[in-house]
């Protein structure tokens, strides 16, 4: 099952479910660009897709009541602390699990397939530069083997933002999803920050607590900017 999401210059978003043959398992995202239009094709669990679609619809049209047996989706408080998850597309499943764990703790999380509207590059950079209180990098073999990826742009942007804090590790948090040797050695400053094993649920739970404390502290001490 695939989820198709399209974005255009008018900031409107369309979603659909379909079966598409021959989408590579190793690279579940295929992008098409034409002027201001971006279309993404993702392997997606149908239940998660429907839950996300309901959430987006009710956020955009709060006056509309959705009937039926719909699972309750937690809403974030307007003043909820914010975190940003940076990850390679192939690691979307693990990123989504961390996303869910953080939201369960009351953290408003930016995950690119969840919240992007309009110019996606500008939206991502603005989120890192101005909105989030914690930048989370998910390291993996997929990321380490990539010679060029937008993730590196996000990493360098996070470094610039971290200069507003007393130390980089007040803002940047690292986790690795598979083997410990998947941790990045470049950019070199990443090696000075402790990396957390996120390969199981218990470790993710402990990591979420660390990120939550940092988000709350950063909101109180440094504000959003």
**Tokens describing residue 62:** 């709060």
Encode pLDDT of 177-190 as tens digits.
Answer: 987 888 988 899 99
CATH class of 82-222: alpha beta
Q: Name which residue leads in pLDDT, 26 or 40.
A: 40
Count the residues in the chain. Answer: 225
Q: What is the pLDDT of residue 123?
A: 83
State residue 6 phi and psi, 5-degree precision.
-125, 145
Sign of CA dihedral 111, 210, 184, 158: positive
State residue 85 phi and psi, 5-degree precision.
-105, 120
Encode pLDDT of 43-52 as tens digits.
Answer: 666 667 777 7
What average pLDDT does the segment 74-79 reach?
73
Would strands 82-86 and 134-139 be described as parallel, antiparallel, or unpaired? parallel
What average pLDDT does the segment 148-167 reach?
92
Measured CA to CA, the distance from residue 5 to residue 16 in angstroms comes to 7
2 band by pLDDT with thresholds 50, 70 and 90: very low
Measured CA to CA, the distance from residue 77 to residue 99 in angstroms comes to 16
What average pLDDT does the segment 108-113 reach?
84
Q: What is the pLDDT of residue 31?
A: 47
This model's pTM is above 0.85: no
**Tokens describing residue 110:** 């930016």
Mean pLDDT of the chain: 78
Please report the DSSP string for 105-136 in residue order: TT-EEE-HHHH--SSHHHHHHHIIIII-SEEE
Percent of the chain's residues with pLDDT above 70:
66
- Longest Cα pair distance anywhere in the chain, in angstroms? 52
Which residues is 99 bridged to in the sheet? none
The CATH 3.40.50.2300 domain(s) of the chain lie at 82-222
Q: What is the pLDDT of residue 39?
A: 59
């Amino acid at each position: 099952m695939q989820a198709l999401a399209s974005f255009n210059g008018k900031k409107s978003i369309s979603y659909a479910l379909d079966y598409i043959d021959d989408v590579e398992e190793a690279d579940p995202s295929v992008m098409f660009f034409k002027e201001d239009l971006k279309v993404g094709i993702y392997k997606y669990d149908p239940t998660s897709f429907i839950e996300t679609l309901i959430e987006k619809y009710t956020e955009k049209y709060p006056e509309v009541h959705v009937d039926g047996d719909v699972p309750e989706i937690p809403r974030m408080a307007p003043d909820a602390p914010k975190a940003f998850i940076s990850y390679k597309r192939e690691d979307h499943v693990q990123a989504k699990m961390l996303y869910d764990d953080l939201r369960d703790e009351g953290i408003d999380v930016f995950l690119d397939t969840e919240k992007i509207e309009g110019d996606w590059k500008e939206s991502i950079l603005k989120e890192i530069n101005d909105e989030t209180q914690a930048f989370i990098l998910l390291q993996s073999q997929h990321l380490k083997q990539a010679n060029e990826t937008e993730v590196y742009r996000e990493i360098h942007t996070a470094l610039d933002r971290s200069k507003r804090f007393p130390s980089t590790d007040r803002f940047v948090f690292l986790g690795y999803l598979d083997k410990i040797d998947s941790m990045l050695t470049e950019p070199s400053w990443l090696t000075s920050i402790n990396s957390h094993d996120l390969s199981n649920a218990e470790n993710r739970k402990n990591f979420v607590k660390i990120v939550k404390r940092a988000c709350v502290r950063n909101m109180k001490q440094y504000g959003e900017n």
